[in-house]
A and B are shown apart, each in its own frame.
Chain A
Amino acid sequence: MAENKEKTFEEAMARLEEIVRALDGGTAGLDDSLGLFEEGITLVKLCNAKLEGAEQKVKLLAKGDDGNLQETDFVGGAK
């Protein structure tokens, strides 16, 4: 698997769950288990880094020129 692009938080969490399940199932070989463990640790670091650096985004749905709802930055609200 060529995984050049970084996983999103959701993908990383989903993969983490898979890894824990695979380790829990005990079906993976020992070498594979070690590989999964290493991958898991990388993902944990990635997830935490994403959470650490998060900035809140609030979007307001407003009718665009085509009459469809579009996301616009919401100003106001939070103080």
Chain B
Amino acid sequence: MGVFDENFGTPEKQGDGAITVTQLNEYIKSKIDGDAFLSRVTVKGEISNFTNHYKTGHFYFTIKDEGSLIKAVMFRSAASKINFVPENGMKIVARGRVSAFVRDGQYQLYCDAMEPDGIGALYFAFEQLKKKLSAEGLFDEARKKPLPKIPTRIGVITSPTGAAIRDIINILGRRFPYAKVILYPALVQGAEAAPSLIAGMNYFNEQRNVDVIIIGRGGGSIEDLWAFNDETLARTVAASAIPTISAVGHETDFTICDFVADRRAPTPSAAAELAVPETHELMHKIDNIIGRMSLLLSRRIESGRQILDFYKTQGIFAYPERMFEDRKMQLLMLGQRLETSMNTKLTADRALLAQRTAKLEALSPLGILSRGYSVAAGADGKVISSVNDVSKGDTFTLRLSDGTLDATVN
């Protein structure tokens, strides 16, 4: 525009010796932009008045400390690259250049990079991931799998040289030596730790060669435990088909891995205790199965007996005479019929007999005698049918209808 000379000279004055506001601010901007120190500065402080301009993707905010503040802006190209969401109150370290915004007469920090500051940064990242995964429902109790009651194969993902594996093996060996332990040797701190832990989860989920997984490590600083706050690890643990116990650090240490796992154990030793039953307790429980079976069996017998008792009170078992009553009645009726028909027959026969007797009587010699005839019989009892049969002086008998007469031939 030719307003400034190449050596950042003063603006051209108007007739009255004054310059415009724009000219002044442009002059100031040129002074600032020409400063080598301000062209690349790293500043730390706390974010306030944070505005995420959603339409443009630019961040507008203020960075402050106890005594001062500076306006700051982060354009979308830079803002899209940071791996956390800035919030008010968050301590950050920002890098960029200081320049002036001519329209508003404001100098400000144009950030091209920003990261959370120190332990606070880790804490913020932790809180943000926790909030995000929680909102997705990854911590919900409802989606957690129950641990197997009697696991016989236990996968452990931890360092093969750490205290954690020693503790776990000791406890498992003491409580439940029957279970086989398969150790996936993983890195548990440093940049390679999260991929290594994830590979362990994937290995067991592909092989399906264990009933439960213990993932963890012994105590350490928050930085040491940081791998267990990895988002991909969290999602891998949440998606595991095998129930998983997370045991990271000490009682007071909480990691994202703890929240997504099916169970959190305060220490690796506690994880081992959670994972398996105690052998003698288990044996006792198994013994109790006998008692349970006996009870069920005696119930079975008892119910059978009740059914039997019920039948005993029913029908012919209760009134066995019913079985004979009908037949008795039948018998009785048959007897009566027999008698009746017998009588009928007798009467008829009797009548027939009388008839026949009458006929017979009509033909009988006695009947002829009763009409005045008589039969003569010799002394030898033979009927005299001819005069030649007798001689004078013979005695004979005359049979009349009502008696006999002794007679002599004259």
* B293 and A56 contact, CB distance less than 8 A: no
Q: A28 CA to B160 CA in the complex, in Å? A: 51
8 Å CB contact of A56 from B169, B283, B300, B303: B169
Interface hits, A43-79 → B, CB 8 Å? 44, 47-48, 50-52, 54-62, 69, 71, 74, 76-79
B292 at the interface (CB under 8 A from A): yes
Interface hits, B293-309 → A, CB 8 Å? 293-294, 296-297, 299-301, 303-304
Query: Which B residues are CB-close (under 8 A) to A16?
Result: 286, 289
* A20 and B160 contact, CB distance less than 8 A: no
8 Å CB contact of A40 from B150, B161, B290: B290
* B160 and A33 contact, CB distance less than 8 A: no
Q: A57 CA to B166 CA in the complex, in Å? A: 14
B184 at the interface (CB under 8 A from A): yes
Which of B111-119, B174-182, B359-367 has 4 or more CB atoms under 8 Å from chain A? B174-182
Nearest chain B residue, comparing its CB with the CB of A47? B286
| A56 and B173 contact, Cβ closer than 8 Å, known pairs A44-B287, A74-B160, A77-B166 | yes
Q: A23 CA to B115 CA in the complex, in Å? A: 65
8 Å CB contact of B178 from A51, A59, A61, A71: A51
Distance in Å: Cβ of B243 to nearest Cβ of chain A: 16
* A37 and B293 contact, CB distance less than 8 A: yes
Q: A71 CA to B47 CA in the complex, in Å? A: 52
A6 at the interface (CB under 8 A from B): no
Distance in Å: Cβ of A15 to nearest Cβ of chain B: 11
Jot down 9 A-B pairs with beta carbons below 8 A, ordered by A. Answer: A16-B289, A28-B300, A33-B296, A47-B286, A48-B287, A51-B283, A58-B183, A69-B203, A78-B166
* B183 and A51 contact, CB distance less than 8 A: no
* A33 and B150 contact, CB distance less than 8 A: no
Interface hits, A26-48 → B, CB 8 Å? 26, 28, 30, 33-34, 36-37, 40-41, 44, 47-48
* A44 and B286 contact, CB distance less than 8 A: yes
Nearest chain A residue, comparing its CB with the CB of B150? A13
* A61 and B183 contact, CB distance less than 8 A: yes
9 closest cross-chain pairs (CB), A and B? A54-B178, A23-B296, A56-B177, A78-B169, A56-B173, A58-B181, A54-B177, A57-B180, A77-B169
Q: A71 CA to B279 CA in the complex, in Å? A: 25
Q: A9 CA to B290 CA in the complex, in Å? A: 17
| A26 and B303 contact, Cβ closer than 8 Å, known pairs A56-B173, A58-B183 | yes
* B283 and A59 contact, CB distance less than 8 A: no
Nearest chain A residue, comparing its CB with the CB of B199? A69
* B152 and A77 contact, CB distance less than 8 A: no
B170 at the interface (CB under 8 A from A): yes
Q: A49 CA to B165 CA in the complex, in Å? A: 28
Q: A78 CA to B173 CA in the complex, in Å? A: 9
* B203 and A52 contact, CB distance less than 8 A: no
Query: Which B residues are CB-close (under 8 A) to A3?
Result: none
* A59 and B294 contact, CB distance less than 8 A: no
* B165 and A77 contact, CB distance less than 8 A: yes
